[in-house]
Chains A and B, each alone.
Chain A
Amino acid sequence: MPTIVSVDDSTVPGEGSSRLLLLVSSDNKHIVVEEDIMSRSRFISKQVEGFEATSQRHAILLPFSSFVLNKVIEYCSHYRGYYLLEDDPDAAPPGRSPVREWDQEFLDVDRNMLLRIIKAAHYLEIKSLVGSCARAIADMIRGKTTEEMREILGVENDFTPEEEHSPSSKCTG
Chain B
Amino acid sequence: MRKQVSEDDAHARLHTLEDEIHACRQALASVRMRRNSLAPAAILPYDILALVFESLALKQPPGLASYCNIAHAQEAMLGWITVTHVCSRWRQVALDVPTLWSTVTPELGDMWFNLLLTRSRSTPISV
* A142 proximity list for chain B (CB < 8 A): 56, 59-60, 68
Total residue contacts A-B, CB cutoff 8 A: 120
Tell me if A157 counts as interface (CB < 8 A to partner B). yes
Tell me if A72 counts as interface (CB < 8 A to partner B). no
The distance in angstroms between the C-alpha atoms of A138 and B41, with both chains bound, is: 12
CB-based contact B111/A172 at 8 Å:
yes
Stretch at the interface among A11-19, A75-83, A100-108, A129-137: A129-137
The distance in angstroms between the C-alpha atoms of A107 and B115, with both chains bound, is: 36
Q: How many residues on B have C-beta within 8 angstroms of the other chain's C-beta atoms?
A: 47
Shortest beta-carbon distance from A24 to chain B in Å: 22
CB-based contact A143/B68 at 8 Å:
yes
| A141-B56, A144-B70 known; A158 vs B87 contact (CB < 8 Å) | yes
Partner of B56, one of A138, A168, A173: A138
CB-based contact A156/B48 at 8 Å:
no
Shortest beta-carbon distance from B107 to chain A in Å: 13
Partner of B83, one of A116, A139, A149, A163: A149
When C-beta atoms are compared, the residue in chain A nearest to B58 turns out to be: A96
Interface residues of chain A, those whose CB is within 8 Å of chain B, are 96-97, 111-112, 115-116, 118-119, 122, 130-131, 134-135, 137-139, 141-146, 149-150, 153-161, 163, 168, 170, 172-173
CB-based contact A143/B69 at 8 Å:
yes
Partner of A146, one of B40, B51, B58, B82: B82
CB-based contact B52/A138 at 8 Å:
yes
CB-based contact B44/A158 at 8 Å:
no
The distance in angstroms between the C-alpha atoms of A159 and B58, with both chains bound, is: 26
* B121 proximity list for chain A (CB < 8 A): none
The distance in angstroms between the C-alpha atoms of A10 and B25, with both chains bound, is: 60
* B54 proximity list for chain A (CB < 8 A): 96, 134
* A153 proximity list for chain B (CB < 8 A): 39, 41-42, 86
**5 smallest A-B Cβ distances: which pairs?**
A143-B68, A153-B41, A134-B51, A138-B55, A156-B32
B49-90 vs A: 1/0 string, CB under 8 Å? 001111110111000000111111001001001111111101
* A112 proximity list for chain B (CB < 8 A): 40
Shortest beta-carbon distance from A70 to chain B in Å: 19
* B78 proximity list for chain A (CB < 8 A): 173
When C-beta atoms are compared, the residue in chain B nearest to A154 turns out to be: B39
| A119-B44, A139-B59, A156-B87 known; A149 vs B82 contact (CB < 8 Å) | yes
CB-based contact A159/B55 at 8 Å:
no
B110-124 vs A: 1/0 string, CB under 8 Å? 011001000000000
| A142-B68, A143-B70, A150-B86 known; A158 vs B48 contact (CB < 8 Å) | no
